[in-house]
Structure 1
Amino acid sequence: MTAFSAIHEEHESDKEDFTPGVEPQPTWCPGCGDFAVLKALKGAMPELGRSPEEVMLVTGIGCSGKLSSYFESYGYHSIHGRALPVARASKLANPGLEVIAAGGDGDGYGIGGNHFMHTARENHDMTYIVFNNEIFGLTKGQTSPTSPKGHKSKTQPSGSAKDPVRPLTLSLASGASYIARTAATNPRQAQEIIAEAVEHDGFAHVDFLTQCPTWNKDAKEYVPYTDVQDEYDFDRTDRREAADMMYEAETKLHEGEVLTGRFYRDEQRPSYGQEKRSTGEMPEDHLAERYFEDDPEFERVADHLIDRHK
């Protein structure tokens, strides 16, 4: 028996199992799209047969960072833009965990943009949910990387002179193997997409449109929305066709039409962990589990380094 025996055991769970007893009620503003992310995440976990003991949720700074306080699982509240490095380390140390990282558009596409690009490039097996409300909400309404050109805010009172980041296109160019966009106004699709993303073996990026009724009234509620799988004919396993569809969706968003759905999926590419284990650079068993065995052998990296330089 080890500390990891709960992982992958057969059991039934309910979405209420993921409601913490300490802080069960979120304190987001009324009408905030973040509530929809929490609801979709709670609904997706039982659907996949996961229990709180099998999930690690890493969050950044911002309104979205509170997600780990309202979701019962292993959790880590990291600093601004650094959720992905912590999530990557968690997955590499314990591949049996379902690792989910979450943060806002400023956190993920701005301050942590370098980590986003390289985590996608390396195809780490995790899900990254980005709360995209086109504004810095927690710090009271500054222009973010996804704010549209001309958007007026405290930091750009005359209107932003910069074109917004195209997160779907950036994700594809960086190397993510699953890319989707959903919206708080489409809860059924949101839960389905999060479940697919968690189940995917590789880096799954979900751009989640979450309206901010307090600091970004220009974005309204991201309606009406159109599911690209219903209205467009493209092959989401083909990078070129996916890229064209993403560009259209990112262009139309600021023209008043919201295109959501699954944009890209690569099932053939191995994850970073699989690559490392195939070359023998990573052990098959969980790194942390070694220290819970009856007769552990502590392998200190420092000792190897010291021996190498003697």
Structure 2
Amino acid sequence: MSAFNAVDDEREIDREEFTPGLEPQPTWCPGCGDFGVLKALKQALPEVGKTPEEVLTVTGIGCSGKLNSYLDTYGFHTIHGRSLPVARAAKLANPGVEVIAAGGDGDGYGIGGNHTMHTARENHDMTYIVFNNEIFGLTKGQTSPTSPKGHKSKTQPHGNTKTPIRPLSLQLTSGATYIARTAAVNPNQAKEIIKEAIEHDGFAHIDFLTQCPTWNKDARQYVPYIDIQESDDYDFDLGSRTEAQEMMTKAEEALYEGEVLTGRFYVDDESVSYQQQKQDIGEMPAEPLAERYFDDDYEWERSYDLLDRHT
């Protein structure tokens, strides 16, 4: 009897299945953009045919870390900046599970920045959503890696002197094969982008702009926004790294000048995911490793049986 026999069990799915019974109402502050992420996920998962039993949500620390408490899927709440290593291990152990990792801008672009970069480089087949509110929210308003220059906070009372990180460009350089930016104020676009990210075979990164009305009152609410796919002012090839980089540079510079550009910035459907590469060279079995824990007849292998001895 498999513990994962719900995977690929086709049936009609209601979005309310993703609302937990124990804590159905999130406790984020009124007006928080995190509500937009949760809503978009609840709408997107049924549309791609995923049940709660087929999804694992891995979160870091911060307001975004509460996501898997409010989303009824398998969940793992990691320590600060470490959602991606856990998510990668889970996906390698059971490729049939849809893995969604989430964290804030401090979590993913700060303390967890190294994991973000290398998970993209290796092209692990998962979705990574970064709640980008340009501040550390849960710890009460410190400067984050995406805080604009000049922004005053508890840790930078005279104004931030550092240039904010450029997450879209960073992920393109690192090797992510699906890169998009959306905002909580654009729920329809957010749902569609999350759907595409989940269906993408490879590492999909979403920079999700989430306003923080409590600790980042100086920040814009990311409105009005411009959908670059619907605007006649922006025409570029999503599959071209050069054109994608130019478009990302425009978007990252415009954000701090009051113009919010959202949409898909880069899509590579040709690169092979890390999991598939491992299977192709014989270092990863086709069947889920996780299944072996529930197979009483399985004869366990040890690493020294699988690897050639070094000479």
- Give the TM-score of the pair, scaled to structure 1: 0.97
The one-letter amino acid of 2:74's match is Y
Map 1:212-227 to 2 at 5 A: 212-227=212-227
Q: Which residue number in structure 1 is paired with residue 247 of structure 2?
A: 245
Q: Which residue number in structure 1 is paired with residue 298 of structure 2?
A: 296
What residue ranges of structure 2 are gaps of 5+ in the alignment?
A: none
Q: Which residue number in structure 2 is paired with residue 265 of structure 1?
A: 267
2:85 is the alignment partner of 1:103:
no
Q: Which residue number in structure 1 is paired with residue 192 of structure 2?
A: 192
Closer, same or farther: CA 140–245 of 1 in aligned 2, 3 Å? same
Structure 1 residues 40-85: Cα deviation after superposition (integer angstroms, max 9, x where no partner): 0000000001100000000000000000000001100000000000
Structure 1 residues 105-146: Cα deviation after superposition (integer angstroms, max 9, x where no partner): 000000000000000000000000000000000000000000
How far residue 11 of structure 1 moved from its aligned partner, in angstroms, is: 1.1
The one-letter amino acid of 2:301's match is E
Q: Which residue number in structure 2 is paired with residue 22 of structure 1?
A: 22
Which runs of at least 4 in structure 1 moved beyond 4 Å after TM superposition?
303-309
How far apart are the structure 1 equivalents of 2:179 and 2:104?
A: 16
How far apart are the structure 2 equivalents of 1:57 and 1:300?
A: 29
What residue ranges of structure 1 are gaps of 5+ in the alignment?
A: none
How far apart are the structure 2 equivalents of 1:286 and 1:24?
A: 32
Query: Does the 8 Å contact 1:171/1:179 carry over to 2?
Result: yes
Q: Paired residues, what number?
A: 308
Q: Which of residues 233, 236, 246 is equivalent to 2:235?
A: 233
Map 1:121-160 to 2 at 5 A: 121-160=121-160
How far apart are the structure 1 equivalents of 2:274 and 2:148?
A: 34
Q: Which residue number in structure 1 is paired with residue 70 of structure 2?
A: 70
How far residue 152 of structure 1 moved from its aligned partner, in angstroms, is: 0.5
The one-letter amino acid of 1:298's match is W
SS of match in other structure, 2:127: strand
The one-letter amino acid of 2:293's match is Y
2:99 is the alignment partner of 1:119:
no
The one-letter amino acid of 2:171's match is S
How far apart are the structure 2 equivalents of 1:217 and 1:79?
A: 27
Q: Which residue number in structure 2 is paired with residue 285 of structure 1?
A: 287
Map 1:158-173 to 2 at 5 A: 158-173=158-173
SS of match in other structure, 2:245: helix
How far apart are the structure 2 equivalents of 1:124 and 1:103?
A: 17
How far residue 292 of structure 1 moved from its aligned partner, in angstroms, is: 1.4
Query: Does the 8 Å contact 1:213/1:220 carry over to 2?
Result: no
Structure 1 residues 186-210: Cα deviation after superposition (integer angstroms, max 9, x where no partner): 0000000001001100000000000
SS of match in other structure, 2:218: helix
SS of match in other structure, 1:217: coil
2:256 is the alignment partner of 1:254:
yes
After superposition, the CA RMSD in angstroms is 1.4
2:57 is the alignment partner of 1:40:
no
Structure 1 residues 216-262: Cα deviation after superposition (integer angstroms, max 9, x where no partner): 01113111100011221000110000000000000000000000000
How far apart are the structure 2 equivalents of 1:50 and 1:29?
A: 29
Q: Which residue number in structure 2 is paired with residue 6 of structure 1?
A: 6
How far apart are the structure 2 equivalents of 1:306 and 1:107?
A: 36
How far apart are the structure 2 equivalents of 1:46 and 1:53?
A: 12
How far apart are the structure 1 equivalents of 2:218 and 2:94?
A: 42
How far residue 9 of structure 1 moved from its aligned partner, in angstroms, is: 1.5
The one-letter amino acid of 2:144's match is S
2:101 is the alignment partner of 1:82:
no
How far apart are the structure 2 equivalents of 1:230 and 1:4?
A: 40
The one-letter amino acid of 2:186's match is N
2:179 is the alignment partner of 1:179:
yes
Query: Does the 8 Å contact 1:124/1:273 carry over to 2?
Result: yes
Give percent identity, aligned residues only.
74
How far residue 15 of structure 1 moved from its aligned partner, in angstroms, is: 0.6
The one-letter amino acid of 1:287's match is L
Structure 1 residues 83-104: Cα deviation after superposition (integer angstroms, max 9, x where no partner): 0000000000000000000000
Query: Does the 8 Å contact 1:227/1:261 carry over to 2?
Result: yes
The one-letter amino acid of 1:277's match is Q
How far residue 294 of structure 1 moved from its aligned partner, in angstroms, is: 4.1
How far residue 14 of structure 1 moved from its aligned partner, in angstroms, is: 0.8
